[in-house]
Amino acid sequence: MKIAPSMLASDFANFGPETRRMEQGGADYIHLDIMDGLFVPNLSFGLPVVKAARPYAETPFDVHLMIQEPAKYVQRFAEAGADWISFHLEATGDPAHTAELIRACGVHPALAVKPATPVERVYPYLDLVDMVLIMTVEPGFGGQSFMADMMDKVRLLRGRLLAENKSVLIEIDGGVNEETIAQAAAAGVDICVAGTGVFKAADAGEAIRALKTVAAQYEGRAPRRKEG
């Protein structure tokens, strides 16, 4: 299991040092939620903040665009330092075109889906993306409770990937803690976004290690992909 601390739960007054603290704590990715107040009913931070944080860590930046028109901003987020860009299937524009734009910028494309969106809707795009992000809360605000029924979507997607022998990663975002990460690992999740549980811990490194330790006990229950 890889852990991607969500900067939405960080101390915004110390955004750069918080980014470095997550890297030093063993984060596998740094998750940055971009909200426009239109696609979701909240605002977070944007391009200047991502660019300013980039020098503080070498850990890959996992940028999650919760915005209405993602294709318009792909190149600028790539230039700001994104290594991965997730955009929503429910946003405007052609998902295939947006994924192609992201890859053309030298960035990994990922497709995100809200809780109400059937996971089967991502199947036509599995050859175009490197990751699928399944929201386990309603996007827009941190601190929400984990939606356990979203693990059914993870299992469906994992089964599809296994059947087609695809190496697309599965990420979840929302409500991840030491209890819920066990469900995620058993269902076949590869990356968990974690917020307050990591940032509010006295030692972020210990919190990340604890999440990984729990996940390791359950990961073998979900098949990953075919061999060969």
Where do the domains of the chain lie? Answer: 2-221
Q: Give the active site residue among 28, 36, 62, 173.
A: 173
Per-residue model confidence as pLDDT tens digits over 23-64: 999 999 999 999 999 999 999 999 999 999 999 999 999 999
| Distance between CA atoms of residues 6 and 168, nearest Å | 21
Distances (CA, A) of 92 to 66, 101, 111: 11, 14, 13
What is the C-alpha to C-alpha distance for residues 188 and 75, in angstroms, rounded to an integer? 31
Per-residue model confidence (pLDDT) at position 142: 64
Query: pLDDT band at residue 226, thresholds of 50, 70 and 90?
Result: very low
In the residue annotation, 33 being an active-site residue is answered as: yes
Candidates 33, 36, 62, 190; catalytic one: 33
Q: Binding site for a divalent metal cation: residue ranges?
A: 31, 33, 64, 173
User: What predicted TM-score, i.e. pTM, was given to this entire model?
Assistant: 0.94
The two three-digit tokens of residue 154, written as one number: 């993870």
Q: pLDDT tens-digit profile of 120-170?
A: 999 999 999 999 999 999 987 666 789 999 999 999 999 999 999 999 999
Answer yes or no: are the C-beta atoms of 127 and 161 closer than 8 Å: no
Specify binding-site residues.
Answer: 6, 31, 33, 64, 140-143, 173-175, 195-196
Residues 6+ apart with CB under 8 A from 197: 176, 177, 178, 207, 211
pLDDT in tens, 57-114: 999 999 999 999 999 999 999 999 999 999 999 999 999 999 999 999 999 999 999 9
Q: Residues at the annotated binding site for substrate?
A: 6, 64, 140-143, 173-175, 195-196
Cα separation of 44 and 86, whole Å? 16
CATH of 2-221, one of 3.40.50.150, 3.20.20.70, 3.40.50.300, 3.40.50.261: 3.20.20.70
